Chains A and B, each alone.
Chain A
Amino acid sequence: MIKMEYYLIVSTILMFVGIYGFVTRRNLLAMLISVELILNSVDINFVVFNRFLFPEQLEGFFFTLFAIGVSAAETAVAIAIIINIYRNIRNIEVKNLREMKW
């Protein structure tokens, strides 16, 4: 059986890849994808902890289900806003969102 640590390594890598992408990517959709990576790493964490450490309860699984649902709703709203930006300025590069600064 695969040990718990390996899952946690994967999820942590996923988390920091997400943070790195969020900070470096300059396209709104790419930033959104990076944030989704962070949320997915959290889901893995919950499921792994539940499965390996507390198999008699279901708290972690339920949390994951809700987190997936909520993040889907958030993504839908984010994409709607990004589409709106596209309609206004015809692209979604962060460098064009410079109307407001400091």
Chain B
Amino acid sequence: MDYTTIFPLMRAELTLTALLVLVFLYDLIAGRRGHHWFSAVTCGLLVVQVLVNLLPGAEGELFGGMFRTTAMSGVVKSILTIGALIVCLQADQWLQREDTHHKQGEFYILTLSTLLGMYFMIDAGHFLMFFIGLELASVPMACLVAFDKYKHHSAEAGAKYILCALFSSGLMLFGVSFLYGTTGTLYFDDMPARLSGSPLEILSMVFFFSGLGFKISLVPFHLWTADAYQGAPTTVTSYLSVVSKAAAAFALFTTLVKVFSPMVEQWQTLLWVVTVLSITVANLFALRQQDLKRFMAFSSISQAGYIMLAVIGGSALGMTSLVFYVLVYMAANLAVFGVLSTVEQHTGGRVSLEDYNGFYRTNPKLAVMMMLALFSLAGIPPFAGFFSKFFVFTAAFQSGFYLLVFIALLNTVISLYYYLLIVKAMFITPSDTPIATFRTDSYTRLSLALCMAGVLLLGLVSAVYDGINAFSFGL
């Protein structure tokens, strides 16, 4: 085996592993003073990681095809790393608290290991590699969800998350085992030629899909989402809602298009139903939420439904619009969670909708940023969210799913209503006890500035979309 080929192909994974080890050693060696700089060090290292990812990379296979990397997966990995970077910036404030201060090393290491798992999941060329990547992404995630050890909610959310994760990965493996039984291979490359589309294989495809549907929290598999999002620390919730979802959506796209290409009609039907359910059911449930974290959970389920619109066509245009949608969604959602998290830290845990009444009077800058992010999530024209929704709809429309696009458009109107409920609370509804005026710390400001740049510029600067499009031809 020629070891010189490994480095260029596995560059992102190797540097991230090195980064993990560095953070671990820093946690061990740095004393009290060192821990003061912990988030600065981690975020600096993550910036380096983003830069390494953005360098043009090689394409190819390793280990007999178990590991394969493409230009597009490089782009997705960069996006995920930027998401993790923003989350780490927002985490600092929460990690400076007394009860979490001594555990900040753990937080960063767990976050980075889930990121590493997502890298491997995206670059897998074999079901074993895929499974290990998926588990590496979801087991440390359960630890993160249950991170607030002394809070009852956090532990409850962690238990719900890990049990559902185990159950769904069991179902997924059951499907994979029958795929192995009928085709005799587990390599993504060899699989399509040997698939015949027999009922057993369709059943295994559905089992496999349900395992990934859990990670993306599509509707029949979404029951854990609201509880885990509400109970988890807010920073973890934002990571869960954006980065982990994006990685799984991309992996779903590649596996459905590459591996299950002989069963395209079956999975398109499946995806059609799941998409309509996700968008509609999540929108209806979001209408009645009072807790904003729960509200964002249902909003993220319906956003996942929109992402599935990009998957269903299985075209190169779909791939581009998926990655673009994920990028835009990340900017807007992380901005909302950044505001939620900083308000929660400054007020001792106020996260319900009523708490935000009169928010504009006391904290005008945060309120405006939150409003812009919510407009982007709802898809109002000048902001990036409009363009990402537009491309996703185009992708589905070109593939001939007219009814699906129509239902999704109707749901956009419903979603506009509930996003505007928050805006109304912040700007119009008066309150006797509004959230007091406070100054956010510099890390949160930086992260919010990054997100705002994304919300405002990503849609207008067409170079971003064209840049992603340039990589999507080979899927």
User: Interface residues, chain A, CB within 8 Å of chain B?
Assistant: 15, 18, 22, 28, 31-32, 35, 38-39, 41-42, 45-46, 49-50, 53-54, 57, 59-60, 62-63, 66-67, 70-71, 73-75, 77-78, 81-82, 84-85, 88-89, 97, 99-100, 102
Contacts and interface: CB of A to CB of B under 8 A. Distances in A.
Interface of B: 127-128, 131-132, 135, 139, 142-143, 146, 149-150, 152-153, 155-160, 162-163, 165-167, 169-171, 173-174, 176-178, 180-181, 184-186, 226-227, 230-231, 285, 294
A39 B173 contact: yes
A81 B152 contact: no
Contact of B184 (A53, A62, A63): A53
Given A63-B186, A77-B142, A45 B156 contact: no
What is the interface of chain B mostly: helix, strand, loop, or mixed? helix
A38 B170 contact: yes
A66 B180 contact: no
Contacts of A18: 170
Given A46-B177, A63-B128, A81 B162 contact: yes
A50 B185 CA distance: 10
A70 B132 contact: yes
Contacts of B178: 45
A59 B129 CA distance: 12
Given A70-B131, A81-B155, A81-B158, 19 more contacts: A28-B163, A35-B167, A42-B170, A71-B166, A74-B135, A77-B142, A78-B162, A84-B149, A84-B158, A88-B152, A97-B159, A97-B160, A99-B231, A100-B153, A100-B157, A100-B226, A100-B230, A100-B231, A100-B294
A49 B127 contact: no
A42 B173 contact: yes
Contacts of B165: 74
B167 A38 contact: yes
A54 B108 CA distance: 43
B139 A73 contact: yes
A66 B169 CA distance: 13
Given A45-B174, A60-B180, A99 B156 contact: yes
Given A54-B184, A99-B156, A31 B163 contact: yes
Contacts of A100: 153, 156-157, 226-227, 230-231, 294
A51 B448 CA distance: 56
Contacts of B167: 22, 35, 38
Nearest to A65: B128
B127 A99 contact: no
Given A97-B159, A100-B230, A66 B173 contact: no
A54 B143 CA distance: 38
Nearest to A84: B155
Contacts of A67: 131, 173
B139 A77 contact: yes
B159 A81 contact: yes
B181 A97 contact: no
Contacts of A45: 174, 177-178, 181
Q: Which 3 A-B pairs have the closest CB atoms?
A: A38-B170, A45-B177, A49-B181
A60 B185 CA distance: 9
Contacts of A32: 163, 166
